[in-house]
Amino acid sequence: MPDYSLKVYPLRSMRREVWRVREVWVNSNDPDASVMEVLSAYLAGYDTIKVKGAELSTLKYVAGVARKKAIGLEILEEGTEEVTLYSVMNTSTLTMRQALDKVMSTVRSMLDDVEESLISLREEVAKSVVERDDVVDKLFLLVMRQLNQALLGEISLGEIGLSSLPEAIYVVIAVKSVERIGDHAVLMAQKLVESSKKLILTDEALNLFRAAKEAYIHSSKAFRTLNRGEVLKVLEASKKFEVLDKAVKENVATLMPFPEANVVLDSVRRVKAYSLDIAESALNLMTLREVMGEGTPIKLG
């Protein structure tokens, strides 16, 4: 190790033999809070999650929402007093590398469609962006679950494309930033739908969106390939964004007839900010691997 200590570990990870079971007691007055508890159990690596303590309709709602948001979480038993969810996902079926690549490309396609919607004002395209939010949530939760499994020693770091435990920090920052960009793509699409095709942005505002999307494209590529050149392109896109943003703020009065435009522009600025976080995580990951003596980076995508 960098401090000259020795780290000893088995050739294969120590697979646990204990089947983890978690009971979630549903609060009928706030079932969504119970959904969060179920997803928390999923992230922690529980194999079976029993949802109980409320009317069957409420239990089915909680289990259904959780199932919709998590890959491999299925309802296999349903009784009058509880609904049982099982995690049937095998880590080897979809690795963290594949999940990262998929979630990043999905968010890219969402941003592409938001741009098309801003230009064409086609409501069906904007609605398709909203529908893809579930895919992003599923992949995000899967990555987080796999990271937890690796940190618990249940799967090896190599299985998820990492060389050392500290790298998990930057994966978490990056994938969370991607998930938040997806959320803002959804928010922009929803505002386009709510505006009843009346939301028309200025050319400066459209160019601002394109600069933010460009920053995201390069940041996601930087993280997947661990390429410093892509990090520099993110910084270039960010500088261009700041110039364009200044012009937009100077002409903000032209957007006032459409209050939805202010929400869209705020989301555009957040897309740029989160893209910088992804690029920073990529650079930190590269630097960490240099310290650890990893000459050839493992591609995460």
| pLDDT single digits (tens) 282-292 | 999 999 888 87
For the whole model, what pTM was predicted?
0.85
Q: How crowded is residue 20: how many other Cβ atoms within 10 Å of its Cβ? A: 13
Among 10-14, 63-67, 88-92, 211-215, name the one with the lowest average pLDDT: 10-14
pLDDT in tens, 141-151: 999 998 988 88
Q: How confident is the model at residue 294 (pLDDT cuts 50, 70, 90)?
A: low
pLDDT in tens, 88-130: 776 556 778 888 999 999 999 999 999 988 888 777 888 899 9
Q: How confident is the model at residue 199 (pLDDT cuts 50, 70, 90)?
A: low
Q: Would you state the pLDDT for residue 255? A: 59
Cβ within 8 Å of residue 129, ≥6 positions away: 110, 113, 114, 117, 185, 186, 188, 189
Do residues 212 and 269 lie in contact, with contact meaning Cβ atoms separated by under 8 Å?
Answer: yes
pLDDT in tens, 236-262: 999 999 999 998 887 766 655 567 788
Dihedral sign of CA atoms 231, 234, 240, 241 in order: negative
- Measure CA 18 to chain center: 30
d(CA 167, CA 143): 13
Domains of the chain: 21-87 (3.30.110.20), 96-291 (1.20.58.220)
